[in-house]
Structure 1
């Protein structure tokens, strides 16, 4: 099976200060682990990440919000968008490139060029709501790609899998109540952004997890709750918001997963995609801030995607 690997140098240029955990070194750590693990030659690199255009963004975000982000891009220094999220002169282009990579990967997977794809991009996206940036996120890469699959390619049903120590509130806000989308997530609760546990829409399958939850408990919940819903839904394509900050070594969360857990989750998702969606998966990087754990976890995720 062929796995595409999307990234772009523009994604390294966005930074929010030397103190900030969402930093360019995250992508460099992934590159280092790809080389160290010797799987770099077993995946197919694709640098054809275009800049997302306004029509792409407007399938998820409001015009006023897109204009707000564009207008706040600074010529120098940093412009604060929220207490955790700021722009430098390269952020606008990096955010367009991250969303564009997700769209390009979607096109390539639907065309059959790759069976599945991973987008090693930043800034991440799953906290970005239709009209609000937050949590290091500007445009919701996975939501934009999923809407592209539905509205440009005409798919009828897509699943979104969100594994991250933080709830993907932006993706839920974009799709709650949309019967074409089934979103399955787990996240530490109570924890930032303090959402997802209550008043779930019928198409949301959220698994709030207590701090210090380990991988076996997550696996059991996925097996009992996610998988039956996914099989019943029969998605035509699967999107993954792949956050690795639930790793036990990551200080931004307090969960206890390890690389094997991310590989197991990915294998379950791949089985769903193989059975119902012609194997079609597009995964986009979200969280993961311990650089060593991030790199190792992405390699485990890629091995499971590629079947190697």
Structure 2
């Protein structure tokens, strides 16, 4: 199991919850308890971003002084996706990305990390199809806007208000998926102790395991990238639980 990360992600680049100081440290502390290999992220190139964003939007991110950190996050997602073709991989990156559309962005997002990663794999002919699971509390409108009408891409945003039905809907959606890769926009803000108040730490493990098992059944790759999650007291444990499931490992003793 590999983890994509870069020390620059620790910087406070804006005044929003996704950039808050102390957000990534609990994740890194929990993941350090595992024998995971760390891969250093590198920035996405301008051409990588142009596959999903307009020149005007990219220039806007530059104008606001956020290009370097946003391009680094997008590049981290690309590395995770490519690594995921061979073994499960998770990217501890920020800013998040699933609210970024081709020519606009909101919700603490600037570039759409998932879309950049998927289109990188498609353009280099490493995949022809993808299934994207987005279990962030908030609907991944940017990912749908960019990729929703592109051939052989399926995007699933669970919306059930009962946690058992929520997990069941994820299992059902994955059972019908026959992609070359499964990508997960992993937001942890729907935890019982975060903004959404619905899912447990064990639920995140279960979703990771469901993705791992389906990838093995289909013979496809799988990867995840960090989106939301704002309660620093539980975020690290939730990420670790999901990553263990994604890597096909048993649950950790919490």
User: How does the TM-score come out when normalised to structure 1?
Assistant: 0.77
The C-alpha deviation readout for 1:140-184, integer Å capped at 9, x for no partner, is 111100111111134111111100110000000011222220111
Distance, in Å, in 1 between the alignment partners of 2:170 and 2:140 is 17
How far has the Cα of 1:284 moved from its partner? 0.4
Alpha carbons 1:11, 1:95 under 8 Å: kept: no
Verify: 1:270 aligned to 2:242, yes or no.
Answer: no
Within the candidate set 7, 10, 22, 1:12 is matched to 10
Larger Rg: 1
Equivalent residues of 2:81, 2:183 under 8 A apart: no
Structure 1 residue 94 displacement after superposition: 1.2
Q: Select the residue among 131, 152, 162 that pairs with 1:180.
A: 152
Aligned length, in residue pairs: 248
Q: Is residue 233 of structure 2 the alignment partner of residue 292 of structure 1?
A: yes
The match for 1:282 is 223
- Who is 1:65 aligned against? 57
- 1:108-160 deviation line (CA, Å, top 9, x unaligned): 333x3xx0110001000001111112000000111100111111134111111
- CA deviation profile, 1:54-75 (whole Å, cap 9, x unmatched): 11101111111111111222xx
The answer (yes or no) to whether the contact 1:15–1:24 under 8 Å persists in 2 is no
Q: For the structure 1 residues 176 and 301, does the alpha-carbon distance in structure 2 shift closer, same or farther, using more than 3 Å as the test?
A: same
Matched position secondary structure for 2:202? helix
Q: CA deviation at 1:105?
A: 2.2
Verify the 8 A CA contact 2:96 2:113 in the aligned structure 1: yes
Structure 1, unaligned stretches of length 5 or more? 74-90, 187-207
Task: Give the structure-2-normalised TM-score.
Answer: 0.92
Mapped to 2, the partners of 1:54 and 1:24 lie a distance apart of: 28
Show the counterpart of 2:117: 145
State how 1:224-239 maps to structure 2 within 5 Å. Answer: 224=172, 226-230=173-177, 234-239=178-183
Provide the residue aligned with 2:38 in structure 1: 45
Gaps of 5+ in 2: 250-254
CA contact (8 A) 2:212 2:248 kept: no
